[in-house]
């Protein structure tokens, strides 16, 4: 006679053939010895306990919120990178001069050395956890941050406006 035996009731359950086939595939692929009875009991307990479903839904919502914040941060980082690259290209194109043919091989050799040094610096910064985004201030600058103020504290743009 078993002491810890819980009183059980025998219930017969019918499942569609495709679901039974999926269970057989699951059992064959995963090699698990999970009985159908255990699966039915777990499903019934979850169905009868709405708190568990609410907890899972809240956990999923928290994860989705975290993913949303990460995607927003990635989007911001991508925008900063695009603007940085565009600014660099504009500056480079405006300030660089075309080299004479006889100086190009020396310039390409120097460029190769400088490129290698640049990659080493990038590897050190990224490997050390220091990136462009850690150097950036948290707050994005606004146009009013760049207003020039004279000694009296008045904005010079306001003095020059037609309303003044």
Range of 23's domain?
8-48
| Domain-embedded: residue 162 | no
31: left (phi over 0), alpha (psi -120 to 50) or beta: left
Domain count, the chain: 1
| Domain-embedded: residue 31 | yes
| Domain-embedded: residue 99 | no
> Which pLDDT score is estimated for 161?
47
| Domain-embedded: residue 29 | yes
| Domain-embedded: residue 135 | no
Tell me the whole-structure pTM to 2 decimals: 0.43
| Domain-embedded: residue 42 | yes
> Which pLDDT score is estimated for 40?
83
| Domain-embedded: residue 153 | no
DSSP 9-77: --------HHHHHHHHHHHHHH-----HHHHHHHHHHHHH-HHHHHHHHHHHHHHHHHHHHHHHHHHHH
pLDDT along the chain (164 residues), means of 10: 69 86 81 76 80 83 95 90 90 89 92 92 83 71 62 50 46
| Domain-embedded: residue 89 | no
């Amino acid at each position: 006679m078993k002491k810890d035996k819980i009183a059980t009731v025998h219930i017969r359950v019918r499942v569609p053939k495709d679901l039974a086939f999926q269970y057989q595939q699951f059992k064959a692929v995963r090699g698990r010895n999970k009985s159908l009875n255990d699966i039915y009991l777990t499903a019934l307990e979850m169905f009868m306990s709405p708190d568990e479903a609410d907890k899972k839904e809240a956990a999923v919502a928290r994860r989705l919120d975290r993913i949303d914040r990460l995607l927003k941060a990635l989007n911001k980082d991508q925008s900063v990178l695009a603007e940085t690259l565009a600014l660099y290209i504009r500056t480079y194109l405006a300030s660089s001069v075309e080299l004479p043919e006889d100086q190009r091989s020396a310039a390409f050799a120097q460029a190769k050395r400088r490129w290698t040094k640049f990659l080493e610096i990038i590897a050190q910064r990224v490997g050390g956890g220091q990136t462009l985004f850690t150097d950036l201030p948290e707050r994005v600058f606004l146009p009013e941050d760049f207003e020039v103020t004279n000694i009296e504290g008045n904005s010079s743009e306001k003095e020059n406006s037609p309303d003044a």
